[in-house]
């Protein structure tokens, strides 16, 4: 039996009449990098909050390291919430020492580790400054240090890349890989499919509270390889319109078309020939994660539309 | 106690004790005391010699011989003056240039209505005016009544009522006790409110900054609330301890200086009586702890149901009312600690910390009543902690609009 760091079975959460998470099953094997993907409002944060014990599922169960979660087990988790927050009036080092201490790291040891991390992230000089004096980017780094200070076995990062500039996104990506190499299990949620594609071994795609796809990224791509058509052409694109095409997206010089299930690319080609289009390229390609998602969740859910950002919180009462 | 709770206590405590306001408040308290003691001493010494020389122009012919010894007794150097026009000019001149503290003109009006004029180099202090007026008016009365000096003096000083309380404890209602009880009750109100509001702000900060999500992944909500309340409360106790120690030092050094400078101002016995003792300090500490636990719990719950400072300002009103009611009644309770109303109010747990303290401080509550009130207070602390803990637990993670009262009640039932 495989060893799971985290397992959700049939987890459901409702806020009033709105179902935020609907019978979600999720198994995160130890040592994996797992992406929880979906547009804003699809239930990612609610799911993570249930894992962290901030919300309680109405139905289903959460298992952490093989049994029911409790404070002791949660202390082995490093949790970076989507909405970042720190004690603004505290000095950086005091704050980090406190965050370590509540998860069982002795203050002296916590300060030492925090100092090392701050140096590594290039903000060592700020250790004795108050959090409110730091720039937003520096605060994000401090928050990340607070998340990993106690050397968690499982890292749960909710939208970790949001608000980071490209350079720091790379820094974070590198650190996440490093933790992965050291054997830490990583679960992160994001609506940035490209990021997930670079980092994840396994992904779970959710849309509108339901899981649409789950599994090893390479397997998923292989299974989907018939679904995306790369076309390069000159002139009018009117011939592309048809029931076969769910969505289109420019990729470089070409256009990627996400095809409906069971669609026949020949139909499109025929229309192109009839329209006398100059076609440079007409090729089925390995889909990008984004395209897989669009195909499964439907074009409507692909954008940042759907539900408002905080719909999974929205004043609900449990 | 588990490590996480301890970390919270430590954080709340150190963050506050190291802060600037704590330093300011802690130093400002004793400084105020020093000021209160030093001011009269300084006033007494200021321009002593000059201001204490008085010339009296007595046109009645009967007052000078009697008023002179009185003023001499109060520390003035007095000389008579015939008061003809040339003499008045000379006196006016010396007062103006400052070689003479002042001169009084006593005439028929003084004898009949107690009115007289004082020409002074600068405006006299209220104490001086009072001393001089009393000396002159008493003398005028004596002259009119023609009785013995002692009787008139006793009558004029307002007589005396000897109060003998037969039911409870020792001690009547002396001024010093009254003041100590009143100030103590007021200080209790201020400090309970101050530190309870500090708890609310802390809860609100964690909620609005969302840091609570991370903290609560490592401990239970009630542990966080408890750690917070204990940490902030310890700051209050630290401040009191510093004040008590410095007050003791100030009084043991300052009081003798005061007594030496103004022997007529206050007697050593009165001063000793006015100083609160160990029992008073104990009562204060006990009712502070009880009151603080009750109100900090309520305030933590209020903080957890709000999202902004403005909301919290509004939401705390009912709790503030609970604290203000005893302050409205405190004078009445101190004046009549045995009245049915006083007794009844002092046993309402939310009022107990202030009103029972006030009653006990004036000696108007029996030891049994005090003990009973403490038991009731402890029970209330538990009840508040239970209810507030449930509201806190749900509210702290809740975003969106402020919950209505029925919603809050549902949290309490279901949490």
Distance from CA of A271 to the nearest CA of B (A): 52
Instruction: Find the CB nearest B211 among A52, A87, A103.
Output: A87
Show residues of chain A in contact with B15, CB under 8 Å.
87, 89-90, 94
pTM of the model: 0.72
- For residue B142, what pLDDT is reported? 79
The burial class, CB within 10 Å (0-12 / 13-18 / 19+), for A31 is: middle
- For residue B204, what pLDDT is reported? 93
Q: Residue B255 belongs to what H/E stretch?
A: helix B221-261
Whether A218 has its CB under 8 Å from any CB of chain B: the answer is no
In chain A, which residue's Cα lies nearest the Cα of B205?
A87
- Mutation site, A85, A89, A107, A144, interface B, largest B CB count within 10 A: A85
Q: Exposure pattern of A187-210 as b/e (b: 16+ CB <10 Å)?
A: bbbbbbbebbbebbebbbbbbbbb
- For residue B319, what pLDDT is reported? 93
CB contact under 8 A, A317 and B209: no
In chain A, which residue's Cα lies nearest the Cα of B400?
A315
CB contact under 8 A, B213 and A313: no
Q: Which of B258, B260, B265, B268 is nearest to B74 (CA)?
A: B265
Instruction: Find the CB nearest B7 among A90, A98, A310.
Output: A98
Give pLDDT tens digits for A131-179.
999 998 889 899 999 999 999 999 999 988 887 888 888 888 899 999 9
- How far apart are the two ends of chain A, measured CA to CA in Å? 35
- For residue A299, what pLDDT is reported? 42
- For residue B347, what pLDDT is reported? 94
Distance from CA of A142 to the nearest CA of B (A): 13
Which strands, in side-by-side order, build the sheet including A245-251?
A: A245-251, A254-259, A228-234, A278-285
Residue A313 has pLDDT above 50, yes or no: no
Whether A314 has its CB under 8 Å from any CB of chain B: the answer is yes
- Mutation site, B214, B309, B391, interface A, largest A CB count within 10 A: B214
CB contact under 8 A, B216 and A313: no
Give pLDDT tens digits for A60-116.
999 988 887 777 777 889 999 888 889 998 999 999 999 999 998 999 999 999 999
Q: Which of B287, B299, B415, B261 is nearest to B358 (CA)?
A: B287
Backbone angles phi, psi at B276, to 5 degrees: -65, 145
Backbone angles phi, psi at B327, to 5 degrees: -70, -35
- For residue B87, what pLDDT is reported? 84
Complex confidence, ipTM? 0.75
Distance from CA of B125 to the nearest CA of A (A): 48
Q: Measure CA A304 to chain center.
A: 14
**What is the distance between the alpha carbons of residues B301 and B198, in angstroms, rounded to a whole number?**
13
Q: Measure CA A164 to chain center.
A: 15
- For residue B273, what pLDDT is reported? 53
**Average pLDDT of every residue of chain A:** 83
Q: Which of A108, A107, A127 is nearest to A117 (CA)?
A: A127
Give pLDDT tens digits for A164-223.
888 888 888 899 999 999 999 999 998 888 888 888 889 898 888 888 888 888 777 777
And the tokens for B61? 């012919």
Give pLDDT tens digits for A1-19.
568 899 999 999 988 888 8
Cβ-Cβ pairs closer than 8 A, A with B, add up to: 91
Which A-chain residues 263-302 have CB contacts (< 8 A) with chain B?
A: none
Contact B167, B262 (CB under 8 A): no
Residues of chain B with pLDDT under 70: 1, 33, 36-51, 126-127, 147-176, 254-276, 415
Whether A140 has its CB under 8 Å from any CB of chain B: the answer is no
CB contact under 8 A, B394 and A102: no
Residue with the two structure tokens 């090729």? A283
- How far apart are the two ends of chain B, measured CA to CA in Å? 24
In chain B, which residue's Cα lies nearest the Cα of A313?
B399
Residue with the two structure tokens 């928050």? A143
CB contact under 8 A, B209 and A315: no
CB contact under 8 A, B217 and A84: no
Distance from CA of A273 to the nearest CA of B (A): 56
Show residues of chain B in contact with A104, CB under 8 Å.
3-4
Q: Residue B59 belongs to what H/E stretch?
A: none
Show residues of chain A in contact with B207, CB under 8 Å.
none
SS3 labels along B151-178? HHHHHHCCCCCCCCCCCCCCCCCCHHHH
Distance from CA of B241 to the nearest CA of A (A): 26
CB contact under 8 A, B210 and A310: no
Show residues of chain B in contact with A132, CB under 8 Å.
none
Give the C-alpha distances (Å, rounded to integers) separating B296 from A258, A260, B230, B293: 59, 61, 10, 5
B interface with A, Cβ–Cβ below 8 Å = 3-4, 6-8, 10-11, 14-15, 205-206, 208-220, 394, 397-401, 403, 407, 410-411
CB contact under 8 A, B400 and A314: yes
- For residue A218, what pLDDT is reported? 79
CB contact under 8 A, A85 and B209: yes
Q: Measure CA A210 to chain center.
A: 15
Contact B25, B239 (CB under 8 A): yes
Whether A77 has its CB under 8 Å from any CB of chain B: the answer is yes
Question: Which residues make Cβ contacts (< 8 Å) with residue A121, sequence separation at least 6?
Answer: A141, A144, A145, A171
Distance from CA of B171 to the nearest CA of A (A): 50
Distance from CA of A89 to the nearest CA of B (A): 9
Whether A125 has its CB under 8 Å from any CB of chain B: the answer is no
Show residues of chain B in contact with A314, CB under 8 Å.
399-400
């Amino acid at each position: 039996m495989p060893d799971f760091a985290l397992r959700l079975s049939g987890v459901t959460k409702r806020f009033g009449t709105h179902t935020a998470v609907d019978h979600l099953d999720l198994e995160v094997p130890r040592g994996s990098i797992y992406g929880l993907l979906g547009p804003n409002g699809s239930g990612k944060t609610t799911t993570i909050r249930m894992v962290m014990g901030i919300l309680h599922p109405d139905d289903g169960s959460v298992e952490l390291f093989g049994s029911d979660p409790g404070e002791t087990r949660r202390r082995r988790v490093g949790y970076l919430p989507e909405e970042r927050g720190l004690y603004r009036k505290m000095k950086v080092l005091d704050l980090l020492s406190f965050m370590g201490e509540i998860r069982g790291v002795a203050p002296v040891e916590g300060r030492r580790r925090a100092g090392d991390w701050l140096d590594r992230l290039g903000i060592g000089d700020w250790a004795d400054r108050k959090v409110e004096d730091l720039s937003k980017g520096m605060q994000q780094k401090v928050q990340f240090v607070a998340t990993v200070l106690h050397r968690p076995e499982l890292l749960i990062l909710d939208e970790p890349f949001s608000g980071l500039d490209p350079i720091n996104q790379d820094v974070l990506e590198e650190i996440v890989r490093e933790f992965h190499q050291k054997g830490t299990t990583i679960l992160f949620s994001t609506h940035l499919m490209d990021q997930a594609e670079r980092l994840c071994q396994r992904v779970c795609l959710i849309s509108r509270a339901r899981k649409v796809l789950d599994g090893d990224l390479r397997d998923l791509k292989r299974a989907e390889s018939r679904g995306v058509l790369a076309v390069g052409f000159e002139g009018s694109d009117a011939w592309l319109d048809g029931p076969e095409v769910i969505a289109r997206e420019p990729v470089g010089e070409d256009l990627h078309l996400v095809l409906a299930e069971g669609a026949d690319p020949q139909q499109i080609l025929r229309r192109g020939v009839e329209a006398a289009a100059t076609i440079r390229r007409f090729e089925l390609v390995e889909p990008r994660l984004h395209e897989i998602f669009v195909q499964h969740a439907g074009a409507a859910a692909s954008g940042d539309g759907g539900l408002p950002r905080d719909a999974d919180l929205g004043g609900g009462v449990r | 106690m588990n490590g996480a709770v301890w970390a919270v206590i430590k954080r709340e405590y150190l963050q506050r004790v190291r802060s600037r306001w704590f330093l300011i408040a802690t130093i400002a308290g004793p400084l105020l005391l020093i000021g209160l003691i030093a001011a009269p001493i300084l006033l007494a010494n200021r321009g002593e010699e000059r201001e204490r020389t008085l010339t009296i122009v007595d046109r009645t012919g009967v007052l000078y011989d009697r008023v002179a010894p009185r003023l001499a007794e109060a520390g003035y150097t007095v000389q008579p003056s015939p008061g003809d026009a040339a003499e008045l000019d000379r006196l006016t001149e010396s007062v103006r240039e400052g070689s003479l503290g002042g001169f009084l003109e006593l005439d028929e009006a003084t004898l009949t209505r107690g009115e007289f004029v004082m020409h002074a180099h600068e405006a006299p202090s209220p104490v001086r005016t009072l001393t001089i007026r009393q000396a002159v008016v008493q003398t005028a009365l004596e002259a009119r009544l023609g009785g013995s000096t002692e009787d008139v003096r006793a009558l004029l000083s307002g007589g005396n009522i000897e109060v003998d309380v037969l039911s409870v404890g020792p001690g009547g209602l002396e001024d010093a006790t009254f003041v100590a009880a009143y100030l103590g009750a007021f200080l209790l109100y201020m400090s309970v409110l101050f530190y309870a509001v500090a708890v609310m702000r802390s809860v609100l900060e964690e909620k609005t900054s969302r840091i609570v999500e991370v903290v609560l992944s490592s401990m239970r909500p009630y542990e966080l609330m408890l750690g917070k309340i204990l940490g902030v409360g310890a700051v209050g106790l630290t401040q009191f301890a510093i004040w008590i120690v410095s007050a003791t030092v100030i009084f043991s050094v300052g009081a003798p200086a005061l007594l030496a400078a103004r022997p007529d101002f206050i007697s050593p016995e009165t001063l000793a009586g006015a100083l609160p003792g160990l029992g008073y300090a104990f009562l204060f500490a006990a009712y502070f702890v009880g009151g603080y636990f009750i109100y900090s719990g309520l305030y933590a719950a209020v903080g957890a149901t709000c999202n902004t400072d403005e909301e919290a300002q509004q939401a705390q009103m009912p709790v503030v009312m609970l604290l203000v009611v005893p302050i409205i009644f405190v004078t009445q309770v101190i004046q009549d600690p045995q009245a049915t109303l006083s007794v009844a109010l002092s046993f309402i747990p939310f009022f107990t910390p202030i009103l029972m303290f006030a009653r006990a401080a004036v000696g108007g509550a029996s030891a049994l009543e005090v003990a009973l009130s403490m038991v009731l207070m402890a029970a209330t602390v538990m009840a508040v902690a239970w209810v507030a803990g449930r509201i806190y637990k749900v509210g702290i993670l809740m975003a969106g609009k402020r919950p209505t009262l029925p919603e809050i009640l549902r949290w309490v039932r279901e949490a």
